[in-house]
Amino acid sequence: MKQMRKTSKPKLEKAHIAFRLNGEQTEVAFAPHKTLLEVLREDLRLTGTKHGCELGECGCCAVLIDGKPVLSCLALGVAAEGHEVTTVEGMTDGTELHPLQQTFAELGAAQCGYCTPGILLTAKVLLENSPRPSRDQIKDALAGNICRCTGYIKIYEAVELAAARMAGEPAEPAKETIYGWD
């Protein structure tokens, strides 16, 4: 009988990239079809970036690439090669929360928190470009970030409060924001 020669499966080549991640030079190898979201969560264990619709519709996977918001579920991991990527883990300054993180915590603008990393990073870019945005500018900037819990008002108020503090004002949350109306 004729002997069949065993053929070994071709090995999947891994992509290997170098980039800056939250201020640190980083190298990582991964299956080349992976999205940036998958590389961050599965290969680099940064699970702050959330996995939602994978269709570019919910905004919870937003990260910054070279300072601009990008939906990491729609970007290939290999696209990060040579760029600067910022995730929510990179928002603190050492042990100091970013003012947005602080006001989101104070005002209860994060409830389940699933949308929060994408919203924080998108709001961070807004405040870099428009230090005192109007309510409408905040709504426009966050229009691509869906939140199922908060009703958005606390999120807008938290962005406004952070903007005021970053401008050097000794701003505190309104009593109604914390305790509601009588």
22 binds ligand FES (CB under 6 A): no
147 binds ligand FES (CB under 6 A): yes
Which is closer to ligand FES, CB of 40 or CB of 71? 71
Per the CB < 8 A criterion, the answer to whether 70 and 64 are in contact is: yes
CA 90 vs CA 16, 20, 21, 95, 177: distances in Å: 22, 11, 8, 11, 28
Which is closer to ligand FES, CB of 21 or CB of 110? 110
Which of 18, 53, 143, 174 touches ligand FES (CB under 6 A)? 53
**Binding residues with ligand FES: total (CB under 6 A):** 23
112 binds ligand FES (CB under 6 A): yes
Distant-in-sequence, close-in-space partners of 23: CB < 8 Å, separation ≥ 6: 90
- Alpha helices per DSSP H over 91-152: 99-107, 116-129, 135-141
149 binds ligand FES (CB under 6 A): yes
**Which residues lie near ligand FES (CB under 6 A)?**
51-54, 56-61, 71, 73, 110-116, 147-150
